[in-house]
Every structure is written in C-alpha cells, then in structure tokens.
Amino acid sequence: MAQSYDVVVTVKSQKGHCGWGHKEGDSWKITGTTPSGMCLAGFAAILPAVRTYMMGGVHPWEKDEDATDLCCQDALNPVVFEIRRVPKE
C-alpha cells in the first residue's frame, strides 16, 4: 500500500466578506475526518485535492509537489486555501 499523509489547510488570503469569518492564517489539520469550523463550500472546493495529497498523489502542474492553492466557490468574496501534504505523526 502507498504511504498516506495528513493534510494541513491554511487560509492564504480572503477578500471581501467571508460569511463564516475565515481569515488569513486560519489553519486546519485534516487526518481523515472533516475539519471542525471550516465551511462546507470551502471544504467541498478543496476535497479532491485533499484526497489526492492524503493518498500520495501529485498535481503535475504544481511547482511544489506537496502543495496547491485553491479557492472557495464565492467569486465575490474568495477565500484562497493552501493545501499541503505533511507526514503522519
């Protein structure tokens, strides 16, 4: 079986008004369950990348094979998340 990882999601930027109050620097560690306090729209937007990194996959277009940036679905008030693979503790 391939090595599995945890994922750390960090808010890199937030423009406009986030209805859930997410702000730059907020962070969640995902170890197999949904993170407490993250809005569902943001989680839905990042879930495919989270699963990819947890299972050891890569996005070949990224310069850093351990991270990618994704945005929530609110185009008027975007929250940009960094999704980063980290070794399991």
Any long-range contacts for 16-24 (C-beta under 8 Å, 24+ apart)? 16/74, 16/76, 16/77, 16/78, 17/77, 18/74, 18/77, 18/79, 19/74, 19/77, 22/79
Q: How large is the average pLDDT for residues 13-21?
A: 94
What is the pLDDT confidence band of residue 32, given thresholds at 50, 70 and 90?
confident
Domain count, the chain: 1
Give the pLDDT confidence score for residue 69 in this predicted structure.
Answer: 96
What is the per-residue pLDDT for 2?
63
**pLDDT at position 81 over 90:** yes
Above 60 in pLDDT, residue 1?
no
What range does the domain containing 28 cover? 5-87
